[in-house]
Amino acid sequence: MTATPPHILVIDDEPDSLGAAFAAMRASGWRVSLATDGAQGCRRAELLGPDLILLDVRMPAMDGYVVCRRLRESSRTCAIPVLFLTAAGASEERLQGLTHGAVDYIVKSCAPAELLARIQIHLELARRNAAPVRQAMAPMPDAEVTLRAAIRLIDEELAALPPLADIAARVGVSAHQLSNIFRSQLGTTVFAWIREERLRQARRLLADTALDVQQIAGAVGFHGAGNFSTAFRERHGLTPSRYREELRAGQPAGDTGP
């Protein structure tokens, strides 16, 4: 029985720059699909379920980092290896690409033989950790992917969050769209969710670490211990220090909420 050839999805707004790469992949018997912008790439990844994705970084509207972040959040695409194949070869760009969930970062000037070898390595690694049910999964709703990507970003950068417009842009939507998604999916605003997440993380740090109140305030993104204490007392009915004392004494520690 002949093995099914691997299916590679290329997401690049300038596919003409990849002529040699396309020729090499097709000469190897691989099936190659193309998307010419980030949004189209996300849709085709969901619908086609390719074995591997080659992704450009510098694309208009939705760049490769946004695409990679969104692919990581969908249950149908999160296990697909993503390789950045791009002319953006600066070391900080390479690091950013890898921290966004890509498994490799390749500059377009590399020889086709090297590209094929790297793809083959990651295809084999993916096969060893294959999730057979992935192909049978229905595509995840776009709003849910956006919500999950935004929540992960907020959690990762809680101590120094960018403005709402920047958060939205980094998950591929406008600030207005992101606000509507939070309201429809969670029944709350982005800012209310961030405030509650900061207080949730603060409760965990008060319970599990020896950090003082000032350190915890900075770690979860409050501007000073005073602002943190006020917000904490309004939410839980006692100060952070008192909350910690009651936890250590084994007493109920205010209203911890959901």
User: pTM for the whole thing?
Assistant: 0.83
For 93-121, how does the pLDDT look when each residue is reduced to its tens digit (9 = 90+)?
777 778 888 899 998 889 999 999 999 99
| Closest-CA residue to 57 (of 100, 22, 114) | 100
Which regions of the chain carry the CATH code 3.40.50.2300? 7-136
pLDDT score for 33: 97
Which regions of the chain carry the CATH code 1.10.10.60? 142-248
Identify the segments of the chain with pLDDT beneath 50.
1, 133
pLDDT score for 1: 41
Q: Write the CATH number of the domain with boundaries 142-248.
A: 1.10.10.60
For 198-239, how does the pLDDT look when each residue is reduced to its tens digit (9 = 90+)?
999 999 999 999 999 999 999 999 999 999 999 999 999 999
The class (CATH top level) of 7-136 is alpha beta
